[in-house]
Amino acid sequence: MLISHLNTMLYLGVTSNLIQRIYQPKKKLVKGFSTQYGLTKRVYFERWKDMENAIVRENRLKHWNLQRKNKLISEVNSD
């Protein structure tokens, strides 16, 4: 999950290249949702062996309410 520098917008998506996915919005290399809303701060990620299961998990997370997503983020970023 990516979040804006003001912590007001959250992006949830699947990628096969996490480093590239973080780098592109920071450098504004690709026009899109993340660049438009300034989503440059990675706050959560999961690794999956195959894209099919990653997409299933993404869809489950997208149906969570914001409070539940924030709790997940807080649990892994507690320091």
How many domains are contained in the chain? Answer: 1
User: Is residue 79 very low, low, confident or very high in pLDDT (cuts 50, 70, 90)?
Assistant: low
Give the number of other Cβ atoms within 10 Å of residue 55's Cβ: 13
62 Cβ contact list (under 8 Å, min separation 6): 12
Q: Are strands 39-42 and 10-11 parallel, antiparallel or unpaired?
A: unpaired
What residue numbers bound the domain in which 7 lies? 2-76
Q: What is the pLDDT of residue 77?
A: 85
Per-residue pLDDT of 6-47, as tens digits, reads 777 899 999 999 999 889 988 989 898 888 888 888 899 999
